[in-house]
Structure 1
Amino acid sequence: MKKSLNCALVAGALSVFAFGASAKAEVVIDVDLTTQNMHVQSATGSYDWPVSTARAGFTTPRGHFAPIGMERMHYSKKYHNSPMPYSIFFRGGYAIHGTYALSALGTPASHGCVRLSPEHAKMLYEMVQNEGASISIVSSPARYASR
């Protein structure tokens, strides 16, 4: 009986391996609130893009998240029907999405979402659609200690 069980387990494991049912790689999205930069690691490559996160008086959630919804074009009901192209929602109404305020990228400027250029937002949206994602939002420690 024990030998049959072992054979069944080995056969099951081999079929999973042979038919590609193993876990697929996810897009890894790291957002650094201090540097206002997003690093993306995907099966298609590695990317670094400027972002805008929460300006004074607002917050961008910190932590580790998974996408909870995606919309090719979303309009914010909370902020004057503002367009949010290629939205990847990760916590409640917070999303990574494109912005047309390109001159603000690299500085805190949002109500809490993570904004990036529409071109980069589209690339990211398509990667996440194909691969899934894990999202990490952190503040990096100061690069230089005060003297």
Structure 2
Amino acid sequence: METIIRSAWLRRSGVFWVGLALIISSLFAWSVPSSAAPRSTRTRSGRWIEVNLSSQRLYAWQNGRRIYSIRISSGKRRTPTRVGTYAIQRKYRYKTMRGRGYVAPNVPYTMFYSGGYAIHGAYWHNRFGTPVSHGCINLPVSQARKLYNWAGSGTRVVIRR
């Protein structure tokens, strides 16, 4: 049986120290939360997702190593994908998505990262590599399933041009 011990944030001499999570099981393991990683996304520890709108690609990173590279479809010029740093807030195996002029029932592997913006599978088109969405990040369904199973709530999402 695993016992999880988490230490709190400590303030010392004007510097915040991030607590470590100690997981005690048959193997002893120390892990540093991704929030403790350096600001540079290239050296970040843990799991995070990078979306490059210029190349229309999504990259999944784990402990500084790229483990997935997937062609995407981001938002069209009239309905652009927002640039910034976010975190996955909610995950749904299937979710009906609605917006101005569209209803998409049973959208698979939906992960919301900012309000109504999400990374999700798209069964209604095969134009990956081209901006065609209403602002979300569209993936082929099989790739969305892999990413959905890999990323947890709180996983950092960095979207850049």
For normalisation by structure 1, the TM-score amounts to: 0.74
Q: Is the 8 A contact 1:26 1:132 kept in 2?
A: no
Q: Which runs of 5+ in 1 are unaligned?
A: 1-14, 140-147
The 2-side partners of 1:121 and 1:51 are apart by: 10
Which range moves more in the overlay, 15-24 or 51-60?
15-24
Q: Which runs of 5+ in 2 are unaligned?
A: 1-19, 34-44
Structure 1 residues 28-52: Cα deviation after superposition (integer angstroms, max 9, x where no partner): 1110111101111137961110000
Q: Is the 8 A contact 1:67 1:134 kept in 2?
A: yes
Q: Quick one: percent identity of the two aligned structures?
A: 29
For normalisation by structure 2, the TM-score amounts to: 0.68
Query: Higher helix proportion, which one?
Result: 1
Q: 2:126 aligned with 1:103, yes or no?
A: yes
Larger Rg: 1
1:80 paired residue among 103, 106, 117:
103
Q: Is the 8 A contact 1:30 1:137 kept in 2?
A: yes
| Partner residue, 2:56 | 36
| Partner residue, 1:3 | none
* Secondary structure in structure 2 of the residue aligned to 1:120: helix
Q: 1:56, CA displacement in angstroms?
A: 2.3
Q: Is the 8 A contact 1:42 1:127 kept in 2?
A: no
Q: Which has the higher contact order (CA 8 A, sep 6+)?
A: 1
| Partner residue, 1:4 | none
The 2-side partners of 1:101 and 1:66 are apart by: 26
Structure 1 residues 103-144: Cα deviation after superposition (integer angstroms, max 9, x where no partner): 210000000000001111111111113x851100000xxxxx
| Partner residue, 1:137 | 159
Query: Could you list the runs of 4 or more consecutive aligned residues of structure 1 that deviate by over 4 angstroms after TM superposition?
Result: 15-18
What is the one-letter code of the residue matched to 1:65? Y
The 1-side partners of 2:62 and 2:125 are apart by: 24
For the structure 1 residues 16 and 138, does the alpha-carbon distance in structure 2 shift closer, same or farther, using more than 3 Å as the test? closer
* Secondary structure in structure 1 of the residue aligned to 2:80: coil
Q: Is the 8 A contact 2:76 2:134 kept in 1?
A: yes
Query: Higher strand proportion, which one?
Result: 2
Q: Is the 8 A contact 1:37 1:106 kept in 2?
A: yes
Provide the aligned length of Structure 1 versus Structure 2: 124
C-alpha root-mean-square deviation of aligned residues, in Å? Answer: 2.5
